[in-house]
Amino acid sequence: MLIEHLDPVASSLFSLLAIASLLLAFVMLGSGWLKNYLYAFAAESWVIAIISAASGFYGHYPELYVIAVLTWLFRGMLLPYLIWRIIHRLDVNREIHVILQPSMSLVIGALFVMFALAVSNRVATVFHLQLTVAVLALTVMLSMKLIGFLMLAVRHEAISQILGLLVLENGIFLGSQVLVPGMPLLIEMVILFDLLIVVVCFGVLVRYLKTHAGTTSSLDLKRLVG
């Protein structure tokens, strides 16, 4: 496993990048402005692209350089651009219907991180992964998944929900790059193209809802509109 052979400098680099990804997820959780979500997601994707390149360098996986470039292009540039076009055309700037205030969301997010840390320590003990960077990678992966679920649950604006889904997927992708970086290149590319198709289909759906139902908030959708 790559993380078992990292020197202290490389371990510190992976730890710093993983923590930066988690902090950017908290930026999304603590803001009510959709463009802030988008900028934080793009920055988070760039950090994950750097993690992929670093995994390729330290683990001698040349295919991960391709993954890093594709991640930067698709997750860091193309997907944010497509979502920005949706925001711009629909003229939706922020969450209107808020279940939890950003401050309460941050508190719950912090509790999720503590829970993820406890679970990661337990998993690391069972699988004899006592390295700090392994525990940290597991913690960040689980935390980002829980934060993505939280965004899906407490945000009603459709654009926030798709970004929550992308954060959740970013967490899985980050964990795989650190813990099992040798995943086949084809699988990684299929995942990236799946995300592109999801966002494009979602954009068509949101514009349809805006035109026929007059809203993009799931809270206002009481019935199916045909």
SS3 222: coil
- Check pLDDT > 90 for residue 114: yes
* Mean of pLDDT values over 24-52: 87
Q: What is the band of 111 on the pLDDT scale with cuts at 50, 70, 90?
A: very high
- Check pLDDT > 70 for residue 78: yes
Residues 6+ apart with CB under 8 A from 182: 59, 61
Residue-level pLDDT at 20: 92
Q: How far is CA 200 from the centre of its chain?
A: 17
**pLDDT tens digits along 129-168:** 767 788 888 899 899 889 988 888 888 777 777 888 888 8
- Check pLDDT > 80 for residue 81: yes
Q: Are 163 and 38 in contact (CB under 8 A)?
A: yes
Q: What is the band of 179 on the pLDDT scale with cuts at 50, 70, 90?
A: confident
Q: How far is CA 98 from the centre of its chain?
A: 21
- Check pLDDT > 60 for residue 222: no
Residues 6+ apart with CB under 8 A from 148: 25, 164, 165, 166, 167, 168, 169, 170, 171
Q: Are 5 and 161 in contact (CB under 8 A)?
A: no
Residue-level pLDDT at 4: 65
